[in-house]
Structure 1
Amino acid sequence: MRCSLSVVLAVGAGLVAAAPHAHESRETHLRTRNIIDSTTIAGSYDFVIVGGGLAGLVLGARLSEDANHTVLVLEAGGNGDEYRERIDTPAYAYYESLWPTELNWAFTTTPQPNANNSVCPWPRGKVLGGSSAINGMYLNRPGEIEVNAWQDMLGDMDGAENWSWESMYAAMKKSETFSPPVDSSIQQEAAITYNPASHGSQGPIHMSYPGFTLPLVGAWSSAAINAGVDNTQDAYGGENWGAYVATSAINPANWTRSYSRSGYLDPLPPRRNYGVVANAQVTRILFNNTSGGNLTAYAVEYALNGGDAKLTVGVNKEVILAAGTVGSPTVLLYSGVGPKDVLDAAGVEVLSDLPGVGQHLQDHISVTVTWSSDAETAGTIYNDNSSEKNDPAFLSYVNSATAYVNSSLLFGNGVSGLQSNILGEIDQYIPNTSSDTGVISGYKAIYGTTANTILTSPIGLIELVIGLSTDGAIQIGANLQHPFSHGQISINSSNPLDYPVINPNYLNHPADVEILREGVKLARRLGETEPLASAMIKETWPGSDVQTDQEWEDWLRGEVFTEFHPSSTCAMLPLEQGGVVDANLRVYGLSNVRVADASVPPMSFSAHLMSSTYGLAEQASTIIRGFYNQPPPSTKHHNSTTNSTSSSNGRSSGNGNGTAILNTTNVPPTINDTSSTSTNSNAASSLNCWPLLMTVAFLYLTSRLLL
């Protein structure tokens, strides 16, 4: 087929329409590509992704690389543009927090009986980019031992190999572009060590170090060693224990936050097969009766701008839940998929009795020791209102010195006795959130893995972190990493716009109290160890009145707070252990629904969850694309990235008109805009168009340069 002038003019018109007007900023234009107005949503899409947070935007970017698939992302929160300066500036995570804004879901827990009946705030991101837009930007990784323990829990399940350390290590690296400290003086002052081979170099998310540091950061590792904590030269290659300065999600080119939107959405060229809609809260998944005994999702219901009116969009292939540890089980529950007792009590019709939905909730909990100090901290500089306060390099500083401490340091020769007690108490402290035998079996499996594999390994049970963002004070926090206490996400209403019930069941198991007690005692010891000790004037909280084990335990029960790392509520486990998804991320009992976010790993990790969740989403997109891009068995295929077909909703997905070829000129190497060809005639058509298209491209690029 010849390339007609009308085709060239149409392509040219599209390019001109894509160019910003002179009064529009190039930055704003780049940010709004692929974010569409709700009025332009098509009737159906091949993939509907629920949640435009950290994982959802990874999935949207990767799945839409295949031109033969249409993809829609629905995000409950806004686009965040009105808060972009506060999002982009790393230090504003401390000084201009977004928690009080509409970018925070502002969840709270139920009263926690084992934590002095406290009701704890649970901030979660409600904006494009999700919690990656409002968090503290720690970008570190779990260890090889714990990731392989996850895989071992899957047994011989089909797809279990996707969740080995080797697979997740590669997926995490795929998401990253690592940069060493920009200045050797910063590296030396902060005692930063790194191994470039353990990091990714071509991914969408920047992982680096702040452009500013303090002598206290460098003192951290020395004091940790003097207090008996191992030091590590490379916490990213699988041995993640010991003291080090972690990388953060910071772009050193402009000292801005690197998050899911800035990495996986903003840089993309316009894609005709991809749309992202903000302020669209998914309320339910709608199902047909059965497909091979399973329910089949045919549409997703959503509400715009928090309104009561419900709209629907059709699903041609799959629904992918990426709404997070709170959101994903909540959508399943309101859709009638979950424990029968929960759904019955909430007045939701039971479509699929899946007892594990919302169960196995685990969270890192934190307590903090505080000292008064006259040493210079980031908080001191910020509150002085000097010119340095507005220096972008200074405003890139975030707390990132950390240490992961194992049971041997916490308990010495008492580890075996602790393990024996824990294993002997397994029946006594089963969570009362479910009486289902499968859920109980799953709890015992996670419990046993934690007691037998994690507890006796070098993996950290406690994370220690130093806080330097307060004027006149220094904090050292102790954070529990592998809780034996598990909770539940549930609902108590049939209105899907009502908030879920969050019960993390903090400190239900006495071992968590013991481990956290020893962790906070170590935090005190670290603050009293040189070279940190010389910066401390007086311990102001809890203070010298707290000395005995019982005093520590009484104190910490009233002080526990989330470290913002909830996980495991749609756990990947066998169905008979209360699992929600299989090793290919498919929800049991549903033929075309998957979950791909932090709710999937069945056990908590000794790391902040950003890196592992980026890796999980990358791995999920590889699994899904591999499934749908398998060549038909009897068809010959030419050398191309994907097989070009018409999408299920009737849209043409081939790119014989050359549009995708032009689009690739704007694509960074981190996110591909793959082109697909199905026949030699289509390829020839593209070649016939090439001279005219190059002319259009030249004119377009020239117009862009003149703006």
Structure 2
Amino acid sequence: MNTESFDFIIAGGGTAGIALASRLSEVEHHTVLVLEAGLDHSDDPRVKIPAFYSALFGTDMDWGFKTVAQPQLKGRSLSLNQGKALGGSSVINAQVYVPPTKAILNAWAELGNVGWDWNTMGPYYTKTLTSPDTPNDLRKALGIDGWWADEMDTSGPVQLSYPGNPSHPIRQLWAETFKIKRWFMSSRVWADASVGAFSNLASVDPVSRERCHAAKAYYAPIRDRQNLQVLLNAPVDKILFADGEAQPKAIGVQYYHEGEMKTVNARKEVIICAGALQSPKLLELSGIGNAEILKQHNIEVIKDLPGVGENLQDHLVCDMTFAAVDELETVDALARQEPKALEQAMLRFTQHHDGPLTSSGIITYAYLPIMDFLEDSGLAQLARLISENRLAAGSLPENSKARKYYELVENMLLDSNKPSAAYLSAIGQNPLGSDPETGEPAPPQPGNHLTIATVLAQPLSRGTVHIVSKDLKEAPEIDPKYLSHPLDVEVFAQHVMYLKSIAKSPPLSNVLKQPLQAYPPLAHLSDLGATKRYLRSRTISMWHPAGTCSMLPEQTGGVVDSSLRVYGVSNLRVVDASIVPLLPPGNLQSTIYAVAERAADLIKEAHETKA
């Protein structure tokens, strides 16, 4: 293979990048080069063992990004753990694999993206995965008797399973609790996702019970393809452009490898897959972005594209931990690092491929509206909140975009069939939570626990990520502006207040100690004001940054079009979480794989007559 010139150069071998490379290299005459800043950690036991995901944070597999101080979160700077490895964040995440909703993908289309609605994208989600074969005697225990799990005809690369012990009682109790409330997702989740509770899947192989990340799923089976080359420890410095072109044309990249600066040419396209925090950084370092920002750092302006690095959105999560009965199986002993528990868990994992190490601990999910606002008085109160926080009319493009986002979120808030939050349960205390009173990591507590958390599904707050210098090694400045939109605070507080309502509801309440013992102490919420104070102290990121190279019309702040081509530049695309114009309600993993699958087809179609 000619190592100096390739048809396609992919900058970033993360979740999207390595999946895209696998699909593009299916065409034998396409030569593909992947440049990945990290290494291949597929053989690391901490990667393989699902329960050890948090042990990877702060290691050489984690970029270790942090936000600037967030005024609405008591001045805290939050960690944004992002994978620095072949496979990207799929190597260090909590493995949760959940669908989007119909409403969200249809909203993508409403924002101006033809071909990105539910009908088009739904098949790409199922193309990514292989669903588990679930024995009939386990279906009731899993809370999935009567619906979708075994009805999906799937054979995708990502091997899925129900994490942990499939007979764990929380699954059935969660299902029965929400069935009583008439909020159970009884249809096929991946074919008709809307609102309700369900048992979540995880990217954990059902046989080996090891993490199934992008490098393992998409790359390992085809790593010997002669037309695909993956270069590790090779961060891309900037994109190269042709001289004398009327429109900028990407012709290659400059990158570091083995202590040297090198260049490589792209005959067809350069594709950026560096993630929501680094794709805008690479564009800016290459001269594509807001001209004022580029000039501040003495970077030649190739294309003035103000949307680069804007529209940053992320999921916030707030939790409460409840003392559970002694007989409930949890991972609390592992959180306390009790030697005997760790030894037994390792033996079960290595000898029998089961036990508590086969899961991150998250086993159930629910997509819900604001439950306390479903009656007439609540709807009236919600309508008032929406009206009071609506953006004043204005003619600027950013105002037009903000109003459109607000209209979409308003529609979702007022429609009981569309979720404004995701809820999850985890069998154990939260190892990542901080004490709201001190701001320091909370020490592990004695006893067994069940954690119930809620995620703000559709934040209106938008932040930024921009370079701070021309130096590739310097992290960008990340300012998500969490909870800067006042409606986010109101909606999130309502969902946080509902956490205790779930814990009080039978039969789930049967496995919690009575009266309820909530932790941390400030979780004993008395009113809405106390709830807001609690969430500002306790909330952390779900590590789902997105939107910083949004797929939107250029006049409303977009960076890429509906074919993921960068506006005003030829032969250049972006394919990763940065293009997502509106977050799905749950974890991003399934969406990023689906985006990569869709992008592969778009790129193949664009070049089918140009071989």
> Does structure 1 retain, via aligned residues, the 8 Å contact 2:412–2:418?
no
- In the TM superposition, what is the alpha-carbon distance from 1:557 to its structure 2 partner? 0.9
Match of 1:376 in 2: 328
Match of 2:251 in 1: 298
Q: Does 1:479 align with 2:455?
A: yes
Matches of 2:140 and 2:584, distance apart in 1: 30
Pick from 315, 318, 322 the counterpart of residue 273 of structure 2: 322
- In the TM superposition, what is the alpha-carbon distance from 1:438 to its structure 2 partner? 3.1
Query: Secondary structure in 1 aligned to 2:365?
Result: strand
Query: Secondary structure in 2 aligned to 1:310?
Result: strand
Q: Residues 200-253 of structure 1: CA distance to partner in whole angstroms, max 9, x if unpaired? A: 522111122136242123212223344564443422113232111011112112
Pick from 202, 220, 226 the counterpart of residue 266 of structure 1: 220
CA separation of 1:151/1:198 partners in 2, compared to 1, >3 Å: closer, same or farther? farther
> Does structure 2 retain, via aligned residues, the 8 Å contact 1:75–1:280?
yes
> Does structure 2 retain, via aligned residues, the 8 Å contact 1:429–1:508?
no
Q: Does 1:422 align with 2:381?
A: no
Q: Does 1:558 align with 2:537?
A: yes
Matches of 1:594 and 1:585, distance apart in 2: 5
- AA at the equivalent of 1:363: D
Pick from 160, 164, 173 the counterpart of residue 219 of structure 1: 173
Match of 2:439 in 1: none
Pick from 33, 38, 53 the counterpart of residue 14 of structure 2: 53
CA separation of 1:279/1:410 partners in 2, compared to 1, >3 Å: closer, same or farther? farther
- In the TM superposition, what is the alpha-carbon distance from 1:441 to its structure 2 partner? 2.7
Match of 1:466 in 2: 425
> Does structure 2 retain, via aligned residues, the 8 Å contact 1:329–1:569?
yes
Q: TM-score, normalised by structure 2?
A: 0.89
Query: What does 1:598-613 correspond to in 2, within 5 Å?
Result: 598-613=577-592
Unaligned runs of 5+ in 1: 1-39, 431-435, 632-644, 646-707
Match of 1:122 in 2: 80
Query: Secondary structure in 2 aligned to 1:319?
Result: strand
Match of 1:278 in 2: 232
Q: Residues 323-352 of structure 1: CA distance to partner in whole angstroms, max 9, x if unpaired? A: 111121111111111112222333323221
Query: Secondary structure in 2 aligned to 1:66?
Result: coil
> Does structure 2 retain, via aligned residues, the 8 Å contact 1:249–1:257?
yes
- AA at the equivalent of 1:98: L
Query: What does 1:316-355 correspond to in 2, within 5 Å?
Result: 316-355=267-306
Match of 1:311 in 2: 262
Match of 1:113 in 2: 71
Bigger Cα Rg: 1
Matches of 1:407 and 1:90, distance apart in 2: 32
Matches of 1:148 and 1:445, distance apart in 2: 14
Q: Residues 438-476 of structure 1: CA distance to partner in whole angstroms, max 9, x if unpaired? A: 344323322222223564251211111111134622211
Query: Secondary structure in 2 aligned to 1:267?
Result: helix
> Does structure 1 retain, via aligned residues, the 8 Å contact 2:42–2:215?
no
- In the TM superposition, what is the alpha-carbon distance from 1:576 to its structure 2 partner? 0.7
> Does structure 1 retain, via aligned residues, the 8 Å contact 2:370–2:494?
no
Match of 2:364 in 1: 401
- In the TM superposition, what is the alpha-carbon distance from 1:269 to its structure 2 partner? 5.5
Query: What does 1:541-580 correspond to in 2, within 5 Å?
Result: 541-543=520-522, 545-580=524-559
Pick from 347, 354, 375 the counterpart of residue 390 of structure 1: 347
Q: Does 1:175 align with 2:137?
A: no
Query: Secondary structure in 2 aligned to 1:371?
Result: strand
Query: Quick check: 615-624 or 390-399, which moved more?
Result: 390-399
> Does structure 1 retain, via aligned residues, the 8 Å contact 2:389–2:487?
no
> Does structure 1 retain, via aligned residues, the 8 Å contact 2:203–2:211?
yes
Pick from 228, 242, 260 the counterpart of residue 288 of structure 1: 242
> Does structure 2 retain, via aligned residues, the 8 Å contact 1:245–1:401?
yes
Matches of 1:621 and 1:366, distance apart in 2: 32
Matches of 1:64 and 1:364, distance apart in 2: 33
Q: Residues 146-165 of structure 1: CA distance to partner in whole angstroms, max 9, x if unpaired? A: 101111221xx6xx12x121
> Does structure 2 retain, via aligned residues, the 8 Å contact 1:149–1:453?
no
CA separation of 1:385/1:275 partners in 2, compared to 1, >3 Å: closer, same or farther? closer
Matches of 1:456 and 1:346, distance apart in 2: 46
CA separation of 1:570/1:102 partners in 2, compared to 1, >3 Å: closer, same or farther? same
- In the TM superposition, what is the alpha-carbon distance from 1:548 to its structure 2 partner? 1.0
Q: Does 1:522 align with 2:482?
A: no
- In the TM superposition, what is the alpha-carbon distance from 1:71 to its structure 2 partner? 0.5
Matches of 2:327 and 2:477, distance apart in 1: 43
- In the TM superposition, what is the alpha-carbon distance from 1:195 to its structure 2 partner? 1.4
CA separation of 1:198/1:279 partners in 2, compared to 1, >3 Å: closer, same or farther? farther
- In the TM superposition, what is the alpha-carbon distance from 1:386 to its structure 2 partner? 6.2
Pick from 499, 515, 523 the counterpart of residue 475 of structure 2: 499
- In the TM superposition, what is the alpha-carbon distance from 1:420 to its structure 2 partner? 5.1
Query: What does 1:576-587 correspond to in 2, within 5 Å?
Result: 576-587=555-566
Matches of 1:545 and 1:148, distance apart in 2: 39
- In the TM superposition, what is the alpha-carbon distance from 1:426 to its structure 2 partner? 3.5
Q: Does 1:450 align with 2:409?
A: yes
Q: Residues 238-289 of structure 1: CA distance to partner in whole angstroms, max 9, x if unpaired? A: 3232111011112112212111111110001522211011111112112124
- AA at the equivalent of 1:218: Q
CA separation of 1:196/1:237 partners in 2, compared to 1, >3 Å: closer, same or farther? same
Match of 1:624 in 2: 603
- In the TM superposition, what is the alpha-carbon distance from 1:134 to its structure 2 partner? 0.8
Matches of 1:539 and 1:360, distance apart in 2: 36
- AA at the equivalent of 2:531: W
Matches of 1:102 and 1:211, distance apart in 2: 27
Unaligned runs of 5+ in 2: 430-446
Match of 1:206 in 2: 159
CA separation of 1:428/1:152 partners in 2, compared to 1, >3 Å: closer, same or farther? closer
Query: Secondary structure in 1 aligned to 2:583?
Result: coil
CA separation of 1:262/1:457 partners in 2, compared to 1, >3 Å: closer, same or farther? same
- Amino-acid identity (%): 30
Cα-Cα RMSD: 2.4
Q: TM-score, normalised by structure 1?
A: 0.77
- In the TM superposition, what is the alpha-carbon distance from 1:86 to its structure 2 partner? 1.7
> Does structure 2 retain, via aligned residues, the 8 Å contact 1:381–1:389?
no
Match of 2:440 in 1: none
Match of 1:89 in 2: 49
CA separation of 1:109/1:412 partners in 2, compared to 1, >3 Å: closer, same or farther? farther
Matches of 1:264 and 1:545, distance apart in 2: 46
Pick from 306, 312, 315 the counterpart of residue 364 of structure 1: 315
Matches of 2:498 and 2:244, distance apart in 1: 56
- In the TM superposition, what is the alpha-carbon distance from 1:534 to its structure 2 partner? 2.9
> Does structure 2 retain, via aligned residues, the 8 Å contact 1:407–1:455?
no
Q: Residues 401-456 of structure 1: CA distance to partner in whole angstroms, max 9, x if unpaired? A: 011111455554333543454355333699xxxxx943443233222222235642
- In the TM superposition, what is the alpha-carbon distance from 1:568 to its structure 2 partner? 1.1
CA separation of 1:485/1:86 partners in 2, compared to 1, >3 Å: closer, same or farther? same
Aligned length: 576
> Does structure 1 retain, via aligned residues, the 8 Å contact 2:175–2:184?
no
> Does structure 2 retain, via aligned residues, the 8 Å contact 1:142–1:238?
no
CA separation of 1:91/1:544 partners in 2, compared to 1, >3 Å: closer, same or farther? closer
Matches of 2:328 and 2:426, distance apart in 1: 12
> Does structure 2 retain, via aligned residues, the 8 Å contact 1:572–1:579?
yes
